Structure 1
Amino acid sequence: MTELPPLSRREREVMDIVHELGGAAAARIRERMTDPPSDSAVRSVLRILVEKGQLSAEWDGPRYVYSPTVSTHRARSSAMRHVLKTFFGGSVEGAVTALLQLEDSTLTPDERARIRALIDRASKEGR
């Protein structure tokens, strides 16, 4: 799987919002942004993301609706690779440890069982 192109902080924020909503117009995206820039700045970021192939734009009446061109699964994998590399030096163990040490994360017995099964499967597959 090829790596997705790097995104700026604003581009990543827009992509997160569009993935969460499944698609949205510029005004809706801007409403969801932290410390939103001007309307024209949001439209500029959207145009750049379309040019990068991250979003598609479909005319819907008086506005464009933007949708992700990359599946959420692929975007999630790319984001995790970036987080692992940037914050954990590539260490999966370090990332898992950090997740388990979060104060507000409690695993249910079912979640623990599913995670154990995933680890067992990864071991059998040599990962």
Structure 2
Amino acid sequence: MSPLPSLSRREREVMDLVYELENATAAEIQESMADPPTYSAVRSILRNLVEKGHLVSEPDGPRYLYSPTMPALRARRSAMRHVLRTFFGDSVEGAVATLLELREGNLSSEEHARLKAMIEKAAEEGR
């Protein structure tokens, strides 16, 4: 499967919002944007994203509902691979350490136990 075309800053912002909202209309996306462009510009960005294969649209009465073509789990994994490679030199330890540093407050005992179990499972599987 070939990779989808890259995104501009505005296209990335729109994609982030569509993933956050799960699916959305142009008006909902515009309302959610920081420093939003005109409604026509949002529609143009959405049309480009559909043409690039990042979104699909379906009629919803007089408007269109936009949804991502890539499932959220796959998109998260792809984004994390990019972040790991770009910012952490493929160091999972570095990424986890940064996440823990960014966390306001302490991990709950449940979160700590789940993370510990995930690390132990990964070790058993040779990861």
Q: Following superposition of structure 1 onto structure 2, how do residues 27-66 of structure 1 map, counting pairs within 5 Å?
A: 27-66=27-66
TM score, norm. by length of structure 1: 0.89
Residue type at the aligned position of 1:23: N
For 2:24 and 2:103, the matched residues in 1 are separated by: 34
Deviations along 1:94-123, one digit per CA (max 9) or x if unpaired, are 110101112515210111111011111111
Aligned to 2:7, the other structure's residue is in SS state coil
Query: Cα 1:121–1:77, aligned 2, differ >3 Å: closer, same or farther?
Result: same
Query: Cα 1:41–1:2, aligned 2, differ >3 Å: closer, same or farther?
Result: same
For 1:103 and 1:51, the matched residues in 2 are separated by: 38
For 1:17 and 1:96, the matched residues in 2 are separated by: 25
Q: Following superposition of structure 1 onto structure 2, how do residues 24-103 of structure 1 map, counting pairs within 5 Å?
A: 24-102=24-102
For 2:105 and 2:54, the matched residues in 1 are separated by: 31
Aligned to 1:42, the other structure's residue is in SS state helix
Aligned twin of 2:119:
119
For 2:97 and 2:2, the matched residues in 1 are separated by: 27
Residue type at the aligned position of 1:27: A
For 2:35 and 2:86, the matched residues in 1 are separated by: 25
Give the drift of 1:27: 0.8
User: Aligned-pair RMSD on alpha carbons?
Assistant: 1.8
For 1:107 and 1:117, the matched residues in 2 are separated by: 14
Instruction: Extract unaligned runs of 5+ from structure 2.
Output: none
Q: How many correspondences in the alignment? A: 127
For 2:72 and 2:38, the matched residues in 1 are separated by: 27
TM score, norm. by length of structure 2: 0.89
Aligned twin of 2:17:
17
For 1:11 and 1:109, the matched residues in 2 are separated by: 39
For 1:66 and 1:85, the matched residues in 2 are separated by: 30
Deviations along 1:50-79, one digit per CA (max 9) or x if unpaired, are 122211101112111101121110111111
Query: Cα 1:113–1:22, aligned 2, differ >3 Å: closer, same or farther?
Result: same
